[in-house]
Amino acid sequence: MAKLTNMFWGAMPHALYRHFKVDQPERLRLRQEAERLKHPLELSARNVEFRHRHQGQRCFILCNGPSVKRQDITVLKGEHVFSVSSGYHHPDYSTLSPIYHLVPQLTYGLLTREDAINWFREMDGRLGRATLFLNYTEEALVRDSGLFRGRDIRYVTLAGTFQDYDPLALPDISKRIPGVQSVAIMCLMAAMYMGFTEIYLLGTDHDHFRTGEYNYFYEPTLLRGKDPSTDTKGNIVGSLYDELSALKVLWEQYRWIKRVAGLHGIRIFNASAGGALDEFPRIDLTAAAASGRPGTV
């Protein structure tokens, strides 16, 4: 029977073969994807309110690499600051009072639903007035658990890879945006959509493939031991091959962002104190903070 089937497909004209074996399955996949993302996209549509909100202004994206411990981030007081994940553990967090806080899609396994609830409750008590952005996959958890009441909480729809998107267009956080390898990429897409034309990265170290450790500028609390790629001390447990493969994807995402930013007149700088990220011009944080007038929240 298998032989007859193969003979049948082999005898078909190329156009028919493509219709049944390529085009039709792809259309079915796209219909299923559209149905699956119908509700998430309804959630994300609210983000259109942020389009060009900060047109022509600058912002600082504070990530959680250990290099942040070597920097005086109080120079960012009064600036537009994005924070991420557990970055609220920084002792100067309240001084900065970030206006946006972003968390990428959660990966469950060692991290349980109860862990996520406890983390979100801790987070809510530390974020001040920051608007919180989560992926749509956490919406049901937040809603069912009654989390973040009274806070402006928004959802993005992370779906697909960067290769699925227009390489010339700015990411639109009111629609679908590509899945990310790092929360810094998520922040960059949001900042560009909001109209920031000068963006500074901090704590984007990405040098764990050199050090063999994946640590932060703070000591983990509720999430200690919940990362399957490290042990409880932050030592990487995966193979170098796996790490380099993931880094290749991450660097491709940064390069995609850099290209799109350049097409739209957006300048991105790396103000991290060290680290391996080499896609953007380096600048000293203190010099960057002194080079322009702080934004107005």
Question: Domain holding 87: CATH number?
Answer: 3.90.1480
| pLDDT recorded at residue 266 | 98
Do 138 and 6 sit in the same domain of this protein? no
Question: Do 196 and 174 have their domain in common?
Answer: yes
Q: Are residues 4 and 28 in the same domain?
A: yes
Are both 154 and 63 inside the same structural domain? yes
Q: How far is CA 81 from CA 95, 98, 101, 170, 242, in A?
A: 11, 5, 9, 21, 32
Q: Has residue 43 been placed in a domain?
A: no
Give the pLDDT confidence of 83-116 residue by residue, as tens digits: 999 999 999 999 999 999 999 999 888 899 999 9
Structural domain including 21 reads: 1-36
- Does residue 41 sit within a domain? no
- The answer to whether position 15 is within a domain reads yes
The three-class DSSP label of residue 260 is: helix
Q: Same structural domain for residues 31 and 105?
A: no
Say what the pTM is. Answer: 0.85
Pairing mode, strands 198-202 and 176-177: unpaired
Same domain, 12 and 156: no
**Confidence at residue 217, expressed as pLDDT on a 0 to 100 scale:** 84
At 104 the pLDDT is: 95
Distance, in Å, from the CA atom of 101 to the CA atom of 119, rounded to the nearest integer, reads 14
Strand 81-84 with 153-158, pairing: unpaired
Structural domain tally of the chain?
2
Extract the residue ranges of the chain whose pLDDT is less than 70.
Answer: 1-36, 226, 228, 230-234, 236-237, 293-297
Rg (CA), the chain: 21
Is residue 71 domain-shared with residue 99, that is, in the same domain? yes
Largest CA-CA distance found in the chain, in angstroms, rounded: 75
Q: Report yes or no on 42 lying in a domain.
A: no
Q: How many CB atoms are closer than 10 A to CB 266?
A: 19
Taking residue 269's Cβ as centre, other Cβ atoms within 10 Å add up to: 19
| Paired strand residues for 26 | none
Question: Do residues 10 and 57 share a domain?
Answer: no
* Same domain membership, residue 95 and residue 11: no
Annotate 203-242 with three-state secondary structure.
CCCCCHHHHCECCCCCCCCCCCCCCCCECCCCEECCCHHH
Q: How far apart are CA 82 and CA 130, in angstroms?
A: 9
Which among 53, 98, 55 is positioned nearest to 203, based on CA atoms? 98
Kindly state whether residues 7 and 111 are assigned to the same domain: no
Separation CA 19–CA 2 (nearest Å):
21
Is residue 69 located within the same domain as residue 157? yes
Nearest to 138 by CA among 126, 125, 122, 120: 120
Looking at residue 47, its pLDDT comes to 98
Do 85 and 232 have their domain in common?
A: yes
Report the C-alpha gap between 158 and 261 in whole angstroms.
19
